[in-house]
Amino acid sequence: MLHPRSFSHQQAETRLAAVQLTSGPEWFANRDRAAVLLAQAADAGAELVALPEFFPMINPDVPARFVLAEEDGAGPMQDFLAGQAQKLGIWLVGGSLPLNSYCADKLTNTCLVYGPDGGRVARYDKIHLFGFQQGEERHDEAATLVPGHQPVTFDTPFGRVGLGICYDLRFPELFRQLDAVDLLVLPSAFTVPTGQAHWSLLLRARAVENLCYVLAPAQTGIHAGGRKTFGHTMLIDPWGEVLDCLPEGEGVVSGVFSAARLQEVRSQLPALEHRRL
């Protein structure tokens, strides 16, 4: 059962930001664009910034993904994230990137989190692997990825943060296991058909049912090979109100995480205390 959190030692207000990208097949170009937008977010006062799913590369060329993949704990992508967190003095949720797995022919879709000192504080491997087909559009992540198995949270001065990646958004039982998080961060690359139908609906539902903020950085636009992603990076409050949204194009979404607002909503509607299952 979830337990309500104490707010006595929680930072009163924190600016959050999410980066929206149109990642292409070249790691260096994606890295450099991400760095510009991370700096923009930090310059605007953001203390926690999140990148979208697979920010280093979106490429239909499967072998290229394996070439890019790194061993856990070492490599240019991980060095970039650690360096950016330390340079900008932010909590950095690094979207997701490919890491080598125990299966030689499959990778993990991994979200890494770094603290303001550049030290790594969390690793989450995407648990639910996306499968979809509509006309000529088909996706089967299980063909090249292995699923994770462990829900993940980490603590910050402003509250407890839970992680998910894209398709995880459709499985509320995952977030029920996180024990009263104050913020969910969900890096994504939603397809256009599923995004148009369900993106905002699902994000707002996760915020409302968990009485927490939701920060959802997204991929947007047309990528190599013709893949299209929905964009609409969002920040949502615990009542389900959309505080900021970027429908399309690269850029930054930001807003204030308020401990007082979180406490107000949870006091008015103590649903977390009313759970019986």
pLDDT digits (tens, 9 = 90+) for 82-126: 999 999 999 999 999 999 999 989 999 999 999 999 999 999 999
Residues marked as catalytic: 53, 126, 166
CA dist., res. 137 & res. 122, Å (int): 33
Please check the confidence at residue 51 and state whether its pLDDT lies above 80: yes
pLDDT at 41: 98
**N residues, the chain:** 277
Structure confidence at residue 276 as a pLDDT band (50, 70, 90): confident
Distance of CA 219 to the CA centre of its chain: 11
* DSSP E strands, the chain: 13-20, 48-50, 91-93, 97-100, 107-114, 120-125, 131-134, 137-140, 153-156, 159-163, 183-185, 213-216, 220-222, 228-230, 233-236, 242-246, 251-258
pLDDT digits (tens, 9 = 90+) for 167-226: 999 999 999 999 789 999 999 999 999 999 999 999 999 999 999 999 999 999 999 989
Q: Which of 262, 271, 203, 218 is nearest to 20 (CA)?
A: 218
% residues pLDDT > 70 (the chain)? 95
Average pLDDT over residues 29-41: 98
Domain 14-274 sits in CATH at: 3.60.110.10
Q: Which of 58, 116, 121 is nearest to 87 (CA)?
A: 116
Helices 27-43 and 76-88 sit at what angle, rounded to 10 degrees? 10
Contact 196, 204 (CB under 8 A): no
pLDDT at 19: 98
> Which single residue is written with the structure tokens 């807003």?
255
Please check the confidence at residue 135 and state whether its pLDDT lies above 90: no
Under DSSP, is residue 209 helix (H, G, I), strand (E, B) or coil? helix
Is the model's pTM score more than 0.85? yes
Please check the confidence at residue 241 and state whether its pLDDT lies above 80: yes
Summary mean pLDDT of the chain? 94
Q: Residues 6 or more apart from 267 whose CB is under 8 A from it?
A: none
Average pLDDT over residues 54-65: 93
